Amino acid sequence: MMIDLIINKPQNIKNDVLSGLTVALALVPEAIAFAFVAHVDPRVGLYAAFMMGLITAIFGGRPGMISGATGAVAVIFAPMVIAVSAAQGMSVALNYLFLAVIVMGVLQLLFGLLKWGKFIRLIPHPVMLGFVNGLAIVIFKAQFGQFYIRTDNGLELLSSTPLLVMCVLIALTMGIIQFLPKLTKAVPATLMAIVTVTILSVILQSNGYMIITVLDFIKSMDPTQTTMAASLPSFIMPTVSWEALKTVFPYAFLAASVGLIESLMTLSLVDELTETRGRGNKESIGQGIANIVNGFFGGMGGCAMIGQSMINIRAGGRGRLSGITAALSLLVFFLFGATLIEQIPVAALVGVMFMVSIATFEWTSLRLFKQIPNSDLLVIAVVSITTVIIDLAVAVFVGVIISALIFAWDHGKRMSAKTVMSKKGYKTYKLEGGLFFGSVTSFKDLFDVANDPEHVVIDFKHSRVYDHSGIDAIQNITDRYKKVDKKLHLLNLDKECELLLQQADNIVELSVIDSPDWHLADDRLA
C-alpha cells in the first residue's frame, strides 16, 4: 500500500485554533528541556518559545510552520554559557547569550534581505540526512548532563538510588510517549507523559525519595531563586564591548547558520506535505527579527521546529493563526501555571528529549545502506560525525563541499569525443565536456596516438579548460604526438590557454577564440 505523504486538510479558523492549542501543550516541556540543554533558567527557554513563535507566525514566510526554542541552537550556545558562567558568573553569561542572540538575528536578517534563501535548495539530500542524524545525536548526548548534580566540589554523578529512580522515570516517560498514541490520540502523548510522571514523582517524594524537579534545577543555578513564576518578558539592554563581541560572534554565526538551515529545511518539508510553497527569504527575515527581539527581551533564541510543525500540519493548522494561537497559549501557560511547571521532574524532560532525538534521527538512512551510492553514504557519515565532533554549521559546509567534489568527479569521467576523418586524411577529435582535474584521465584515454594519422586535430569548440591540470594534460598529449613525429592541431582554445601552453612551438596550428569571460584557475594568471 502506498503511503500518502500529502496532508490534505481544509484551512479554517477552527482547525488553526485547535492545532495551535495542541502545539502549545507540546511546546512547554520542550522549551524547558532546551533551556536545560543551554544551561539557563527555564524561563529563558519559555520566553524564547513565545517570542519566536509569535513573531515568525506574523512575519515569517511559511504559514503553519512553528518556531521556538530549539535543541539545534541550544547546543551551540551551551558551551559559551558554561565557559563564561564558570569564569565570570551567570549574570555575565546571560549578557553574552542575549548579545549572541541579537547578532544571530542580525545575520539572519541580512541573509533574508540579500535574498539568499533560495540557496537552501542547493543542499544535497545526503547532507540533509547527515545533518538531521547528527543533530539527533547531539541532542541525545546533551541529556546525560542531567544525571549529574551540582555540589561544592563541582558536578558529581547522582548516587545509586536517585540515579535508579531517575532512569525508571525516564523509561516511563518514553514508554507513554511511544505507546499511548496506539491507544488514543485524544490527548497529546507528551503532555500525558509529563503529567503522569510528575504525579508519580510527587508520590515518591512524599515517601522520601530524592527527585530533581525544575525548581531544584533553577535553585542549583541561582540559590536566591525560590520560584520560576514569570511575568511578561521585559526589555534588557545587553552590555556591548569589543571583547564580548569577539567572544559571541563565532557562536552567533554558527547559530544563525544552523537556525536558517533547519528553518528552511522545515519550510521545504511543509511545502511538500501541503503542496504549497513558502517564501524562504521572507522566513529568513522573520527568523532574524524574532531572534533580535529575543536578545532584547531575555530569550535564548531559536528557529523553526520540525516536530512541532509536523504536529501543527497534521492537526489541520494551515494559516498564521495556528502559530499565533500556539504562542499566546504558551504565554498563558507560563504566566498562570508556573507553580505546576515547577513540580515537573527533570527525568520527564530528559525522557521527552530522548524521544525527540529518536524521532529526529532519519532511520531510513540506515535501511538505505545497500540501496544508495557509496558516495552518498560517505556524505551522510561525514556530516553526521562532523556534527557530533565539531558543530552543525561546519558539518553542512563540509557536506556541501564533498558533494560538489563528487559531482565534479562524476561529470569529469563523462568527457567524450567524436572522431571524424577529413578528405586530406586529418583525424579530428571533437571534444565534449569540461577538462579539469577530475577529467584528465578520461581526456588522455580518448586518443589513439600509435594508430592516428600524421595530422591530428583536437577541437575544443564544445569543451572548456578549467584549471592547470587541464593545461598539463594538453601538454602531455602534445608531447606524446611529438615523440611519434605526428603533427597536432588545437582548435578553439581561449587566450589564457595559449599563454600557458609551453609546447605551443611544437603545434602546427593553434586556433584561439575570443572569450574574455573565460578564466582559468591558475596561480600564474591570478
pLDDT in tens, 323-342: 999 999 999 888 887 788 78
Give the pLDDT mean for 59-88. Answer: 90
Give the 3-state secondary structure of residue 55.
Answer: helix
Give the 3-state secondary structure of residue 457.
Answer: strand
Pick the CATH number of 415-525 from 3.40.190.10, 3.30.750.24, 3.40.50.280, 3.40.50.970: 3.30.750.24
Beta carbons of 471 and 501 less than 8 angstroms apart: yes
Q: Which residue has the higher pLDDT, 136 or 413?
A: 136
Domain residue extents for the chain:
29-364+372-404, 415-525
Q: What is the mean pLDDT of the chain?
A: 82
153-177: per-residue pLDDT in tens?
A: 777 788 888 889 999 999 999 999 8
Instruction: Supply 459's cell numbers.
Output: 577541437
Angle at 459 between CA 455 and CA 461, to 5 degrees: 165
Single pTM value for the model: 0.64
Strands 148-151 and 154-157, bridge-based pairing: antiparallel
pLDDT category of residue 516 using cuts at 50, 70 and 90: very low
Give the Cα separation of 406 and 505 in Å (integer).
Answer: 36
Q: Report the range out of 77-81, 144-148, 180-184, 514-518 with the highest average pLDDT.
A: 77-81
Beta carbons of 403 and 127 less than 8 angstroms apart: yes
366-378: per-residue pLDDT in tens?
A: 777 777 788 888 8
pLDDT at 192: 83
Q: Over the range 58-78, which residues count as b (16 or more CB within 10 Å of their CB) and which as e?
A: ebbbbbbbbbbbbbbbbbbbb
Instruction: Supply 4's cell numbers.
Output: 500518502
pLDDT at 170: 93
Q: Which residue has the higher pLDDT, 413 or 418?
A: 418
CB atoms within 10 A of CB 458: 25
Residue 222: which region, alpha, beta or left (left: phi > 0; alpha: psi -120 to 50)? Answer: beta
Give the Cα separation of 59 and 61 in Å (integer).
Answer: 7
